[in-house]
Structure 1
Amino acid sequence: MKYVCLIVFTVVILSGCWDIKEVEQQLYIHALAVDYKNGKFVLYGQVISFNNLAKQEGGASRQPQTTATVKGSGETINDAAFDLYTTAQQRFSWEHITAIVYTENTLKSGKILHVNDFLQRYYQIRNIIWTFGTKEPIEEVFAAKPILNITVLYSQLSNPDDIYKQSSSIKPIQLFELNRKLSEPAYTTHIPYLSTSKKTWKENKKEHLVAYIGGSGYLRGKKYVGYVPRDQLFGDRWMTKDVNRTKLSVKEDNKTIVVGPTINIKSKISPVMLNNKVKFTIDVKADFKTTEILKFKTHKELKELAENEIRKQIEETYKKGLNNKIDIYELSDVLYKQKNKEWKKIAQNGVIPLEPDTINKINVNVTILNTEQLKNK
């Protein structure tokens, strides 16, 4: 009798695992993309295989990485999601989604809050997924993948923060942070834009399609404000919190003379009211390591040139935003939080009027770290 009870008890315990599906019995959606056109939502899913991940981490040879894209459409996001199931050959798993990509049509339509509400309500999708915009066809973005058969789990799409720590330019943003900023009354929110390129990488002498962050789109609430390309946003990195490491090229007569990484970047924006107009003072501190010197300069000269270059980049990016009616440095939000009464008096639809002289002073203090190199020179 004792052995019979033991067998029955064992069977009862093991029966709870009978409905578990093996890895190869499901389709895993790695990234989602949402388009909106002709009054309908078009939902894209990038489906990947986890087979190569185990081989990569185990040190074995890598097999060619395969991805697939599935598309569904409908009048609502749920309709589009269920449309994905129509031609599926296996059950979909939504638990491993790492990114959401909004097409520019979706952002311009003002449907982003509707999309994000769906993402938050669906329990299998986490709030920490990365968010991106794009001007390019989704099939092209989802077709891009890392070189050397590295799994797409380690790509710009699913792991942008790792690359940002090495070279900080446009800060990646997660879904929970995006939703928080969209709900702020005075915030202008940026969304990194994905672009693709075949020009920079070749594998076995063949062009290789890769994705990269090529600029930023901007939203105020659910309203799309505009887009600024990467090469016009150099000033924004000096104003962004948590910048880890970024390159500074010091120039003289439009020629680069010193290059190196800049670290420990800190910025502060201080508003003051003058004659019923708001003016802002910006203070930036940074440490500069000179790793390449093409023309000798004294410590004092190099410090001055570096500070002027950072100040110039901040001014130029502000002007680019001003020309496109984009509050890139979130000055409206600064005034809203620091001088709320003044903000209420001058704000129009949540935004304060910005003029070329709204930023009236930019103080930059650069510390040259490896001064011995200058002395030896």
Structure 2
Amino acid sequence: MRNYCLILFVVVILSGCWDIKEVEQQLYIHALAVDYKDGKYLLYGQVIDFNSLAKQEGAASRQPQTIATVKGTGETINDAAFDLYTTAQQRYAWEHITAIVYTQNLLKSGKIIHVNDFLKRYYQIRNILWTFGTKDPVEEVFAAKPILNITVLYSQLSNPDDIYKQSSSIKPIQLFELDRKLSEPAFTTHIPYLSVAKKTWEENRKEHHVVYISGSGFLNGKKYVGLLSRDDLLGDRWMTRKINRTKLSIKEDNKTIVVGPTINIKSKITPVMLNNKVKFTIDVKADFKTTEILKPKTHKELKELAENAIRKQIEETYKKGLNNQIDIYELSDVLYKQKNKEWNKIARNGVIPLEPDTINKINVNVTVLNTEQLKNK
């Protein structure tokens, strides 16, 4: 009787584990992409091999990682999702998705709200996904992977924040933050754009494709308003909150004379009323570390050059946005929150009219560090 009870107890304990799936018995979707063409949604899933990932965690050499892409289509995003199951050979695991990529067609269609609503309704999909746009074919974006057989879990697709902390340029954005910004009545939302770099890396003397953030797309509400490249957005980094460190190159006569990282960047935008018109004053503070000086300059000259360089980049990026009808510095949102009555009087479709002189003044205060080498010279 005693043995019978013991056996029964073990059976009861073990019965709860019978439906557990082994790693190799499921397909793991690592990233999603959504396109919209001819009235239909195209949903792409990037599927990775977790078996090879487990081998990479040990001391042995990294094993090549296989990446597969599956595509589903449908008149609704749910139809497209269910179409993924049609040719599946194993059960899909949705819990490990780290990124969502919107094609430019999808962003221009205004369907991003429907896509995000779909994502929020699936409890397996978390709201901390990294979000991107792209002009490149989704198949190329999903096929690109890091060098040296490094897992795609550490690529800019699934871990953009890591490289942003080392060299801050275009701030990555997560799904919950994107949803919040899309719901703001006066906000211009930035979405980082992914591109495939085909000429930068070689591996074993062969061209190796990797993804990188090449620019940003912009939305007012759900309306797509334009795209700016990384070079067009040099001024935006001085206005971005929680920026870690970014490079500043100072030129004279079109030649670089000083280079170094800039840290402790803080910015503030203040709306003011001048002659019954809304103007904005921008204040920027930063610390500049001079790590390379190619032409001797005094401390005062370096400070002035750095401040002029930052001010010029802010002005040029504003002009790029103005030419493309983009409120690059979210001035409408600043006015909405600080002077709501004035915003209600002049805003049209959530955006205030912007002119070349809407930014009235740009004050830049740079503290130059690491100048002992100037004294030695």
- How do 1:178-217 and structure 2 match up within 5 A? 178-217=178-217
Matching residue of 2:146: 146
Q: Residue in 2 aligned with 1:218? A: 218
Q: Please report how far the alpha carbon of residue 6 of structure 1 lies from its aligned counterpart in structure 2 after TM superposition.
A: 2.0
Deviation at 1:370, TM superposition (A): 1.0
- Between the aligned partners of 2:350 and 2:366, the Cα distance in structure 1 is 34
For 1:23 and 1:51, locate their aligned partners in 2 and report how far apart those are by CA, in whole Å.
Answer: 7
What is the correspondence of 1:1-377 to structure 2 with a 5 Å cutoff?
A: 1-377=1-377
Please, what is the CA RMSD of the aligned residues? 0.7
**1: distance between equivalents of 2:362 and 2:78?**
49
- Which AA in structure 1 matches 2:40? K
User: Which consecutive unaligned segments of at least 5 residues does structure 2 have?
Assistant: none
Structure 1 segments unaligned to the other structure (5+ residues): none
Comparing 46-55 with 97-106, which one deviates more in the overlay?
46-55
Aligned-partner Cα distance in 2 for 1:149–1:319: 42
The alignment's TM-score, normalised by the length of structure 1, stands at: 0.99
Corresponding residue SS for 1:191: strand
Deviates more, 1:211-220 or 1:273-282: 273-282
Aligned length: 377
Q: Secondary structure at the match of 1:342?
A: helix
Aligned equivalents of 1:246 and 1:277: distance in 2?
Answer: 34
Structure 1 position 53, deviation (Å): 2.3
Matched residues in 1 for 2:160 and 2:208: separation?
Answer: 19
Deviation at 1:374, TM superposition (A): 1.8
- Secondary structure at the residue paired with 1:319? helix
Task: Say which SS state the counterpart of residue 199 (structure 2) adopts.
Answer: coil
Q: TM-score normalised to the size of structure 2? A: 0.99
| Offset, 1:10 | 1.5
Q: Distance in 1 between matches of 2:139 and 2:228?
A: 23
Give the percent of matched residue pairs that are identical in Structure 1 and Structure 2.
Answer: 87
2: distance between equivalents of 1:307 and 1:362? 10
Q: Structure 2 counterpart of 1:59, which letter?
A: A
Q: Is the 8 A contact 2:56 2:63 kept in 1?
A: no
Report deviation, 1:198.
1.3
Structure 1 runs, 4 residues or longer, greater than 6 Å off? none
Deviations 1:290-320 (A, max 9, x none): 1111001000000000000000000000000
